[in-house]
Amino acid sequence: MKTVRLLFGLLLIAVWGLAACAPAGAGGGQAQGAIRVLAVETFLADIAQNVAGDRAKVESLMPIGVDPHAFNPTPQDVRRVAESDVLILNGAGFEEFAEKMLENAGGERLVIEASAGLTMRTADEAMHDDHSIESHVHMVCAQLEGKQPQGEVTAAANPEAAPALHAEGEHAHEREIVTLKLNLQPDGTYAGSVRFTSENEAGYAFTSAGGQMTVATAAGAALTPVQALPLDCSPMTYGVIYKLAPGEYIVTLSGLTTETTPYSAGPVHAHTEAGADEHDHHHHAGDPHFWLDPLSVIKYVENIRDGLIAADPAGREVYTQNAAAYIAQLNDLHAWIETQVAQIPPERRVLVTDHDTLGYFADRYGFTVLGAIIPNVSSGASPTAQEMAQLIDQVKSSGAPAIFVESIASPQLANQVAAETGAKVVTDLYTHSVTAPEGKAPTYIAMMRHNVETMVAALK
């Protein structure tokens, strides 16, 4: 955390330094379009090149095929940084070496943090080893243990008339059980709706004794659950997790065979004291892999555009037009991915990867990240025997069809999981580097298309 803050401070200074010299430079001196732009990662260089167009050549600091998590700049790399006018980083803590490298390079340059302004998935959300279906089931059942229904509430037949279960001013921080009285449906089952207020927890788990639940916005738009919980903490046998922005929601239960059901709603991660769950406190890093969600890359493009304009004001029009054209391509890519993902049955939209890389992608396109061989947002860690055993159990019980391994990672551990579970290992996902021009993923957009095609082929 400290590193991130320090780095951020450094960025501000760098930007300020440039802003202070810009008026002097604008009058003459620097040749038009002669800024030297360096992007740290290969995919970032491609994205930035699309914005820079013919006006500036963007070079990548990292060579093709290198794992950025394991990168360590050489003195020659530092020299290249020293010679640059603009350095583009992914940010979000991805380049732990950046602060020292910039210090060693000295001088003044504009540093663009491409992911600035995006909301990071917390370590909690990224750490799927601790947030497997099994561990969520365990947490929710622990929250329910020993609790009795706090009265009976009649659920509304019409969602618009759904009653709120909490009195005004009360907070939804703790799990409570109520008995819901439902309405008989023409097919002989029971259904009903209640209101729920979200206060921005990491995720909410809803439970009942059978049936099924859907959560919609107050305006009626249905939402996609994050995880289904196969509960067996009597009498609760059905559970589902949703991530809900603050606001009011309608929870609709249906398909129950009894007129009443116990129902509970509450944050899936109870407010435990620090240290209560030691396993959760291994890593505090957030998830930097924003670029695997094309709609987040739009923010990258805007940040890069604004940075290039700050460094080279005369190029404003070129950068603005190029950025708009590339954003249109990103929107097309997003629409294309949606049509591709639609070919995968929802229950097979399950991802197992080598490290936690696809969280933002999964959030965007309705996948569940079941787990990772290396349960960490960096590729530098290694799994414990217990973590491997847990992953094998999860892959077995979920029937996840495939394990996706980054092209630059070793498939050895994935092969071990595959041998025990029958899942197949797919080894050519390109997530951290583009390929050479003749390869399968020479640009960011080609890389995403290749990955999605690979996923669809393995999962559909």
The nearer residue to Zn ion, 357 or 451, going by C-beta atoms, is 357
d(CA 281, CA 262): 33
Sheet of 350-355, strands arranged across: 368-374, 350-355, 402-406, 424-429
CB of 299 to Zn ion, least distance (A): 19
Query: What element of type H or E holds 44?
Result: helix 42-52
CA distances (Å), origin 18, targets 25, 112, 439: 10, 12, 38
Interatomic CA distance for residues 288 and 378, integer angstroms: 9
Nearer to Zn ion, 285 or 395 (CB): 285
CB of 323 to Zn ion, least distance (A): 26
Query: 45: number of CA atoms within 13 Å, CB side?
Result: 20
Binding span for Zn ion by CB under 5 A among 3-11, 28-36, 188-196, 350-358: 350-358
Residues 354-383 that bind Zn ion (CB under 5 A): 357
Of 18 and 362, CB closest to Zn ion: 362
Closest residue to Zn ion: CB criterion: 357
Minimum CB distance to Zn ion, residue 316 (Å):
34
Minimum Å gap between C-beta 186 and Zn ion is 51
- Among residues 207 and 357, whose Cβ is nearest to Zn ion? 357
Whichever of 68 and 294 has its CB closer to Zn ion, that residue is 68
Residue closer to Zn ion by CB (options 175, 289) is 289
Window contacting Zn ion (CB under 5 A); options: 185-193, 241-249, 353-361, 417-425: 353-361
The tally of CA atoms less than 13 A away on the side-chain side of residue 257 is 2
The one segment of 148-156, 233-241, 352-360, 397-405 that binds Zn ion by CB under 5 A? 352-360
Q: Considering the complex, what minimum distance in angstroms separates the CB of residue 121 from Zn ion?
A: 13
Distance of closest approach, residue 320 Cβ to Zn ion, in angstroms: 31
Nearer to Zn ion, 227 or 357 (CB): 357
Which residue lies nearer to Zn ion by CB, 262 or 288? 288
Q: Six-digit token pair at 141? A: 């059942």
Burial 177-204 (b: 16+ CB within 10 A, else e): bbbbebbeeeeeebbbbbbbbbeebebb
DSSP 100-112: HHHHHH-S--EEE
For Zn ion, the binding residues in 111-130 under the rule CB under 5 A are: none
Residue bearing tokens 């799994």: 383
d(CA 320, CA 444): 20
For the bound state, the minimum distance from the C-beta of residue 355 to Zn ion, rounded and expressed in Å, comes to 6
Of 52-60, 139-147, 331-339, 349-357, which part binds Zn ion (CB under 5 A)? 349-357
Alpha-carbon distance 429 to 446, whole Å?
12
Query: Binding to Zn ion (CB under 5 A): which residues in 251-270?
Result: none
> Binding-site residue total for Zn ion (CB under 5 A)?
1
DSSP readout, 344-386?
S-GGG-EEEEEES--HHHHHHHT-EEEEEEE-SSSTT----HH
User: In the complex, which residues of this chain contact Zn ion (CB under 5 A)?
Assistant: 357
